[in-house]
Amino acid sequence: MSRSSRVSRLLGAALVVAPLVAAPPALGAQNGALPMKLPPRPTTGTITVPDLMTRLYRIADDSMGGRPTGSEGHVKVTQYIADELRRLGLQPAGENGTYFQDIGMERRGFAASSSVSVGGRSFSIGDDFVPLLARGGRARSVSSAEIVVGGMQGDSTTWISADAARGKVVVLRPNPRRLQLEQRFMAFGPASRFGTAAAVVLPVLPQLAMPTRRQLSQPSLVMGGGAQSGAEVPPTLLASPEMAEALIAVAGQSASLALRYEVTPAPGRNVVAVLPGRDPALRGQYVALGAHTDHDPLNATAVDHDSLRAFNLARERMLRASGERRATPQQLANIRVDANAARAGRAARADSIKNGADDDGSGTVVLLELAEQFATAAQKPRRSLLFVFHVAEEIGLLGADYYTEHPTVPLDSVVAQLNMDMVGRGGVDDIAGGGPGYLQLVGSRRLSRELGDLVEEVNRKQPQPFTFDYSFDADGHPERIYCRSDHAMYARYGVPVTFFHTGLHHDYHQVTDEPQYIDYEKMARIATLIHDVTLELGNRATRPKLDGPKPNPGEACRQ
């Protein structure tokens, strides 16, 4: 599931630096001790715990590197999914007769060799500065330019005029009154005072946390199409004070600018397949099922897996006891865990891979299990089934956005979309009220009360019915769960949706989201519920009636 803010990442970084001295909370897998590795075994046509484990231990393995969009690991996972769909005999529904739909990702950023030189001295990207571009702009290419002092950073009353800055390297002095960075003052767009400069240098590098420096020094992964069409803007260089001072000392001289901005294609693909329905009269309608296959890049630095997990679990319990949503710095400082006890006798394990076993390895393998069960069943549903394994959910729901704008089946023929994202947890230590029967439903009655009633009816017929938590579906809920996964892209076009979710937890977007902490028995029950809902939708005579507010595809999602 995509994050609505960077708070969780920043908290995650803070957790690993706390002292580790006292006894930790008990650790362990959701359903007993599970291995860190598991040999694969053949899967069957029935949804089973061994099948789910075989698939999840494969796609959430360290060898996949967290499956971030654009990575080799994500390409490997999507190839595995396509190979499975082909083995099962599902029809390819991507592009050009394949299972893949390329969504046109690009890497954009300054080359690692980028530098600024003056008077025999050279300053390099990452060490001495990190570059920014104003949103939507393309980097101005200048090989050399005169250095001028432009005034004080963050105080426009001291700045030189736009004419004086034109074509120059504008260096701003430090501002002792502005100790915190504000994004709107950091990158200069085409209409700004320094929009015609060759480059702008701000002496603020020490104010950037090291992970942020590394992130800004690396190319960005974005949707293609607009990199070369925006207005030219000056690169804004967030520089060390030493670099800024060195440039100011030779104001009037020319600096050499080797700031090469590169745009290269990056792999980013949905995997799409169709299981045709058995009824010729209804075969042209689809029940869509979806999950996302991507997760996060590697951590910049490795952490001790077990002590981090103990710390995060202690934080979760503390917050639940206090009723607060976020921990204060003082509360974090007060948490103590014993690293040796957390490891339970094992050696320390340095970990930098965010495996994404629950987010959303769990949904991905459930979707594959559903594909296998429906494909091998003696009788297919009357309607066709559309399986979409979305890419780039974590960086803005981009795969689902692209698919709904470039559908490979008519979007108005989709009677409902069932989305599964993080369906492997929801235990007592994961979320308030959690347990074997806990399951969140989001969006199921927003566009069609009939769809919500259908899910409830199917659930009541399960051997162990779930207790649905609808609280996160409330209008205006601060977590904005309704807007944070792929179903939202379908709902904006009026497709009724149901989002199956077991909730955020202390391993969410951490290196500790690994297969050994998944509750596979519960996940199999969730998969069976979704199967039965799909079967009911696939066989009923009429599609769910739309009776909710008609959405506007051009408007931002509203919780």
391 lies in the same domain as 523:
yes
338 lies in the same domain as 458:
no
Q: Averaged over 295-324, what is the pLDDT?
A: 89
Asked if the structure places residue 553 within a domain, the reply is no
Beta strand 236-239 pairing with 129-132: antiparallel
d(CA 302, CA 305): 9
Asked if the structure places residue 546 within a domain, the reply is no
pLDDT band at 229 (very low <50, low <70, confident <90, very high): low
pLDDT at position 231 over 80: yes
Q: Averaged over 78-83, what is the pLDDT?
A: 98
- Lookup: tokens for 247: 């440039």
pLDDT at position 191 over 70: yes
| Residues 84-93 pLDDT 10s | 999 999 999 9
pLDDT for res 136: 78
Give me the CATH number covering residue 228. Answer: 3.50.30
Asked if the structure places residue 387 within a domain, the reply is yes
132 lies in the same domain as 14:
no
Domain extent for 1: 1-30+305-345
Domain boundary among 313, 345, 377: 345
8 A C-beta contact, residue 89 and residue 83: no
pLDDT for res 328: 87
249 lies in the same domain as 373:
no
d(CA 427, CA 246): 57
Phi, psi angles (nearest 5°) of residue 165: -90, -15
Within 10 angstroms of residue 338's Cβ, the number of other Cβ atoms is 14
User: Alpha carbon 416 to chain centroid distance?
Assistant: 24
Match 């529904």 to its residue by tokens: 93
Instruction: List Cα–Cα distances, 140 to 20, 51, 198, 235, 462, in angstroms.
Output: 49, 53, 7, 7, 62
**Weakest mean pLDDT among 196-200, 330-334, 441-445:** 330-334
3-state secondary structure of 515: helix
Query: Could you give the percent of the chain with pLDDT greater than 70?
Result: 91
**Domain total of the chain:** 3
Q: Averaged over 333-351, what is the pLDDT?
A: 74
pLDDT band at 20 (very low <50, low <70, confident <90, very high): very low
pLDDT at position 213 over 90: no
pLDDT at position 53 over 50: yes
Q: Averaged over 264-271, what is the pLDDT?
A: 96
More confident residue, 216 or 535: 535
Asked if the structure places residue 316 within a domain, the reply is yes
pLDDT for res 21: 33
8 A C-beta contact, residue 369 and residue 55: yes
Asked if the structure places residue 554 within a domain, the reply is no
321 lies in the same domain as 376:
no
**Weakest mean pLDDT among 240-254, 283-297, 306-320:** 306-320
pLDDT band at 341 (very low <50, low <70, confident <90, very high): low
Q: Averaged over 29-35, what is the pLDDT?
A: 65
Asked if the structure places residue 78 within a domain, the reply is yes
Give me the CATH number covering residue 420. Answer: 3.40.630.10
Asked if the structure places residue 424 within a domain, the reply is yes
Phi, psi angles (nearest 5°) of residue 42: -60, 145
368 lies in the same domain as 250:
no
233 lies in the same domain as 280:
no
pLDDT at position 8 over 50: no
pLDDT for res 9: 30
Asked if the structure places residue 391 within a domain, the reply is yes
Q: Averaged over 430-441, what is the pLDDT?
A: 96
309 lies in the same domain as 220:
no
pLDDT for res 22: 34
pLDDT for res 452: 98
| Residues 402-433 pLDDT 10s | 999 999 999 999 999 999 999 999 999 999 99
pLDDT for res 536: 98
Domain boundary among 212, 240, 265: 265
Q: Is 386 left (phi over 0), alpha (psi -120 to 50) or beta?
A: beta
pLDDT for res 12: 34
144 lies in the same domain as 225:
yes
d(CA 412, CA 415): 8
44 lies in the same domain as 130:
no
pLDDT for res 26: 35
pLDDT band at 272 (very low <50, low <70, confident <90, very high): very high
175 lies in the same domain as 273:
no
pLDDT at position 181 over 80: no
371 lies in the same domain as 456:
yes
Mean pLDDT of the chain: 90
